[in-house]
Amino acid sequence: MLSIEGLNSYYGKIQALHDINLTVGESEIVTLIGANGAGKSTTLRSITGLVKPESGTILFQNENIAGIRPHEIVRKGITLVPEGRQIFPELTVHENLNIGAYSLKDKSRMSQDFEKIFEFFPVLKSRMGQYGKTLSGGEQQMLAIARALMAHPKMLCLDEPSMGLAPIFIEKIFEIIVMINKGEHIPILLIEQNAAMALSIANRGYVIETGRIIIQDTAENLLYNPIVQEAYLGTGTHSL
C-alpha cells in the first residue's frame, strides 16, 4: 500500500529525516514511536505533502507521491488526522464533517457516510448542531477522525491521537482505531507517544531516533525488546 525508500527531509538547512525506509501493508496498523523531536511528525508531514522531501520515494499504490501538494494526496486516498485535532471550533460538528468531504466528487452518498460515522461515533449524532469548541477533548478527537473518514481514505495517518486526553477517552479512541481498521479494512499509520498503547494494537512498529529508523519489528517483539522497554515503556535494563 505504502512504501517509503531513502526519504530525506529538511527544515531549512536542518536535516530532519535521514534515509527513512518504512512500509504499510494492506489492512495493517503500523506505528512509529520515538521521543519528541525524533522525526515522527515530519515523517507524516512528508507523506501528506506538508513537507516537501529533499530526496527519496514515497510510493502509494505504486505511484510516487513525494513532493506533490497536500490536497492532491488527499484525493489519492491518504488522509491525515493532525496532532492537536485542529477541528474548526467556530463551526458545528455537521459543518466540520462536511469540510472533510470537500474532495469527494459524488456528494449523493453523504447521508450514508453520516450513518457510517455514527456507527463509530454515536455521540456525534447528538452533537451535530453544536460548535466544535463546545465538545470535550475526547469528542473533538472523535470529530477529527470522523472528519478524516468523510474523505473515504484508502489509508489513514494519525498523529498523536491520545494527546491531552483523559485515560477513559484514550482507551475509547484506540478501540475506535481498531474498529476502523478491521471494519473498513483501512490501513493506518499511527504516530503515538503512548508506545505501550500503540504497540498493543499495531501489527508492526518502527522506532525513530534523531531522524533515523533504528529498530523495526513486529509490535509484539517490540513490546519485549529491552531497548524499547527501557526507552519507551519504563522497564528493562538497557538504554539507547
Give the separation between CA 193 and CA 177, rounded to whole angstroms.
16
Number of domains in the chain: 1
Distance CA 24, CA 30 (A): 6
Residue 82 — pLDDT band, cuts 50, 70, 90?
Answer: confident
Taking only the tens place, the pLDDT of each residue in 164-192 is 888 888 889 999 999 999 988 999 999 98
Q: In terms of Cα–Cα distance, which of 168, 116, 112 is closest to 146?
A: 116
Residue 89: inside a domain: no
Q: What is the DSSP letter of 179?
A: H
- Note whether residue 131 is domain-resident: no
Residue 145 near residue 158 (C-beta atoms within 8 A):
yes
Task: Order the strands of the 14-24 sheet from edge to edge.
Answer: 14-24, 2-11, 55-60, 63-64
Q: What is the pLDDT of residue 240?
A: 36
Is residue 211 in some structural domain?
yes
Domain of residue 50, residue span: 2-80+153-233
Q: Is the pLDDT of residue 239 over 60?
A: no
- Residue 146 counted as domain residue: no
**pLDDT at 104 > cutoff 80:** no
Asked if residue 127 is part of any domain, the answer here is: no
How is residue 34 written as a grid cell? 520515538
Residue 165: the pLDDT is: 85
Domain with residue 210: its CATH number is 3.40.50.300
Rounded to the nearest 10°, the torsion over CA 95, 97, 101, 102 is: 30
Task: Kindly compute the dihedral angle of the four CA atoms of residues 62, 195, 185, 102, in this order, to the nearest 10 degrees.
Answer: -70
pTM of the model: 0.89
End-to-end Cα spacing for the chain: 31
Flag whether 120 is in a domain.
Answer: no
Q: Please report, rounded to a whole number, the percentage of residues in the chain having pLDDT higher than 70.
A: 95
pLDDT digits (tens, 9 = 90+) for 116-141: 899 999 999 999 999 999 999 889 99
Q: How far apart are CA 150 and CA 123, in angstroms?
A: 16
Residue 108 covered by a domain: no
Measured CA to CA, the distance from residue 215 to residue 187 in angstroms comes to 21
* Cβ neighbourhood burial of 108 (10 Å; 0-12, 13-18, 19+): exposed
